[in-house]
Amino acid sequence: MKPILLIARRELAAYLRSMSGYAIMAAALFVDGLFFNGMALGGEAKRSSEVLAVFFQIAGGVTMIASVLLSMRLLAEERQAGTITLLYSSPLRDREIVIGKFLSALVMLAIITAATVYMPALILVNGKISWGQVGAGYLGVLLLGSAALAVGTFGSSLARSQVIAALISACMVAALVVCWMLARVTERPLSEIFAALALWNRHFPPFTEGVVHLRDLTYYVGITYVALFGGTRVLEARRWR
Amino acid sequence: MIQVEGLSKYYGEQAAIRDLTFSIERGEVIGFLGLNGAGKSTTLKVLGCVLLPTCGRVVIDSFDLDRDPHEIRKRIGFLPENPPLYGEMTVARYLEFVAQLRGVPASQARARADEAASKTALREAMGEVIGTLSHGFRQRVGLAQALVNNPTLLILDEPTAGLDPVQIVEMRTLIRALRGAHTILLSSHILSEISQTCDRLLVIQAGEIVAQGSEADLAARMGARGVIELEVRAPAERALAVLRAVDGVAQAELLRQDGEVASLRLAAPADLRPKVVRALVAADLDLLRIDRGAAQLESIFLQLTQTKEPS
């Protein structure tokens, strides 16, 4: 556990010392705020719970994009700068490197997500909100972000360039998101598989409405685990090359 | 201390290193000599636990690389050709981070970082951000990170690459100062560096060890005579007569005479230098300079690397 925290702490400090960390945070909050004003608060009158649900849908979308941007540097930059040699020659397990990196990005994502809390607070000023819905919504956003970050970490392990890593990760996240479209044009059992794999369509909306299913929790934790496992295996394989 | 047996590393069908076998005793400074692409860096990366070998056995301090890689990693310090530095960190924070990464308890990390900084003359730069340092300082930080866990084996891959002449001398001095405290495996294709720093040489060519031993051993094996160059303040004829009488000197010749100073070259092993000095002092001649001939290692190296063309 100690090496994981050591790596996570260094990585988090690197986010906070660099412009990129603040730029991603600022851009995410700007887009969140913009869409919140336009889509959640604008238009005809809505119930507070509906406004909150729209807010979490916006936050979920922004989180996925932010996750790809946050994760692109995690392992690709280490390879690009040659610092991966330091990690490889230290008494660490490859999974500790991957988890440490992932955790730092997850904390960064949690900071960005926490900074959106003024938006539900604005709803509270003009109406009532269910704290259960707020809790479930934020849990959903973090779980979705965790899965997208893990996929991004896997993408980052595949490339030496951060731009290529971001492209690979974006493609993988997009592929998982559009699985629901494939589910509509295929027959069972493929349609069921695609529907179950969809990153957004089936698993995320219940959280925005304040409903937490074990199925959805398991799905996001599962995607996170599989993607991090993949990233670990890529690091292990690189020791042979 | 280090036992390498039948070590090979293949990239697909291509062998980067093939069936390397050698051993290194505790405290030795070993020069790993070879042309670019000969397999030096690959070998060092395998010994540094960065790459896994295709086959072969590596034992360091009785720990097997295959079974106890973590124990080995705790006992090595590795400076790759490009120092693995995080540009946004200060030197102090970076060294503490590396110390903890290599298993030093957090309570001792600062002390170890200070110790490594002292050994590499970095105390003044501890508060500096690494990204703002000059190339020479960055190389020193690279050396400090390799030392921070007080390793028994220090692996240095081309430590003077890209340094200017002043920085090369500084780095060489730093490495010499580490002699005795660590077993050092140093790779380079700069012959003078190897010659001045190392006890023993491993010459690698096309992924295979083509020779190993001290410079004198290799010279003897290759049939090459050593060369000693010296300057004396004396008439050339007198100096030549004294030197030709020294047992072991095969040939002595005058290179030039500048006023009272005669520059001479002897065909004799470099190890004969103390005997030559004693003979000159006994003859009451002023010795101004004595050195091994720079051409010796070069000629050995050329002979060794030309005997086997890279595949």
Q: Give kind and range of the element (H or E) at residue A29.
A: helix A19-35
The pLDDT, as a whole number, for residue B270 is 75
- Cα separation, B94 vs B140, in Å, equals 13
Nearest CA to B120 out of B61, B87, B79 is that of: B79
Strands lying side by side in the sheet with B261-267: B251-258, B261-267, B227-233, B286-292
The pLDDT, as a whole number, for residue A27 is 94
Nearest CA to B80 out of A89, A160, A91 is that of: A89
ipTM (interface pTM): 0.88
pLDDT band, residue B224 (cuts 50/70/90): low
Contact B77, B149 (CB under 8 A): yes
Asked if the Cβ–Cβ distance from B50 to A239 is below 8 Å, we say yes
Distance from CA of B209 to the nearest CA of A (A): 22
Residue B79 sits at φ, ψ, to 5 deg, of -110, 105
Whether chain A has a CB inside 8 Å of the CB on B248: the answer is no
Distance from CA of B130 to the nearest CA of A (A): 13
The pLDDT, as a whole number, for residue B310 is 44
In the numeric block, which tokens belong to residue B222? 């290759």
- Cα separation, B103 vs A93, in Å, equals 13
Contact A98, A157 (CB under 8 A): yes
Greater model confidence, A171 or B2: A171
Spell out which residues of chain A touch residue B50, defining contact as CB-CB under 8 Å. Answer: 85, 88-89, 239
Asked if the Cβ–Cβ distance from B97 to A240 is below 8 Å, we say no
Asked if the Cβ–Cβ distance from B88 to A17 is below 8 Å, we say yes
Contact A40, A58 (CB under 8 A): yes
Residue B87 sits at φ, ψ, to 5 deg, of -60, -25
Poorest-confidence range of A2-6, B23-27, B49-53, B171-175? Answer: B171-175
Tally DSSP H helices, then E strands, for chain B: 11, 14
Q: For residue A137, what are the contacts with CB-CB under 8 A and spacing of at least 6? A: A52, A53, A55, A56, A59, A207, A208, A210
pLDDT band, residue B161 (cuts 50/70/90): confident
Nearest chain B residue to A88 by CA distance is: B50
The pLDDT, as a whole number, for residue B293 is 67
Asked if the Cβ–Cβ distance from B52 to A240 is below 8 Å, we say yes
Residues B270-281: b if buried by 16+ CB within 10 A, e if exposed: bebbeebeebbe
Whether chain A has a CB inside 8 Å of the CB on B145: the answer is yes
Asked if the Cβ–Cβ distance from A240 to B51 is below 8 Å, we say yes
Partner B, chain A 18-37, Cβ-Cβ below 8 Å: 18
Distance from CA of B202 to the nearest CA of A (A): 23
The pLDDT, as a whole number, for residue A128 is 85
Whether chain A has a CB inside 8 Å of the CB on B22: the answer is no
Contact A220, A147 (CB under 8 A): yes
| Angle ∠(B25,B26,B29) on CA atoms, nearest 5 | 80
In the numeric block, which tokens belong to residue B245? 């009488």
B71, B78, B97 member nearest A10 (Cβ): B97
Pairs of CB atoms within 8 A across A/B? 63
Q: Which of A128-132, B163-167, B294-298 tops mean pLDDT? A: A128-132
Mean pLDDT of B295-310: 64
Residue B240 sits at φ, ψ, to 5 deg, of -65, -40
Spell out which residues of chain B touch residue A239, defining contact as CB-CB under 8 Å. Answer: 50-52
How many other C-beta atoms are found inside a 10 Å radius of the C-beta of residue B41? 22
pTM: 0.83
Contact B305, B34 (CB under 8 A): yes
The pLDDT, as a whole number, for residue B225 is 64
- Cα separation, A148 vs B64, in Å, equals 39
The pLDDT, as a whole number, for residue B308 is 53
Angle between helix axes B106-119 and B91-101 (nearest 10 degrees) is 120
Q: For residue B58, what are the contacts with CB-CB under 8 A and spacing of at least 6? A: B2, B3, B4, B5, B7, B46, B47, B64, B65, B66, B72
- Most A CBs within 10 A among B86, B130, B132, hence the mutation to make, goes to B86
Share above pLDDT 90 across residues of chain A, in percent, rounded to a whole number? 71
The pLDDT, as a whole number, for residue B309 is 47
Partner A, chain B 31-60, Cβ-Cβ below 8 Å: 45, 48-52
pLDDT band, residue B33 (cuts 50/70/90): confident
- Most A CBs within 10 A among B9, B88, B89, B158, hence the mutation to make, goes to B88
pLDDT tens for residues A121-170? 888 887 888 899 999 999 999 999 999 999 999 999 999 999 999 999 99
Partner A, chain B 102-121, Cβ-Cβ below 8 Å: 102-103
The pLDDT, as a whole number, for residue B218 is 74
CA distances (Å), origin A197, targets A122, A179, A215, A222: 34, 6, 12, 10
Mean pLDDT of B79-98: 94
Q: Which amino acid is at B56?
A: G
Spell out which residues of chain B touch residue A104, defining contact as CB-CB under 8 Å. Answer: none
The pLDDT, as a whole number, for residue A177 is 92
Partner A, chain B 81-100, Cβ-Cβ below 8 Å: 82-89, 97-98, 100
- Cα separation, A97 vs B41, in Å, equals 24
Asked if the Cβ–Cβ distance from A88 to B11 is below 8 Å, we say no
- Cα separation, A178 vs A200, in Å, equals 8
pLDDT tens for residues A21-66? 899 999 999 999 998 888 777 777 778 888 889 999 999 999 999 9
Nearest CA to A106 out of A140, A150, A75, A62 is that of: A150
Res. A88: pLDDT tops 90: yes
In the numeric block, which tokens belong to residue A113? 């997500």
Nearest chain B residue to A87 by CA distance is: B101
Asked if the Cβ–Cβ distance from A14 to B88 is below 8 Å, we say yes
Asked if the Cβ–Cβ distance from B84 to A82 is below 8 Å, we say yes
Helix (H, G, I), strand (E, B) or coil at B59: strand
Mean pLDDT of A77-81: 93
pLDDT band, residue B311 (cuts 50/70/90): very low
pLDDT tens for residues B54-77? 999 999 988 999 899 999 999 999
Contact A173, A122 (CB under 8 A): no
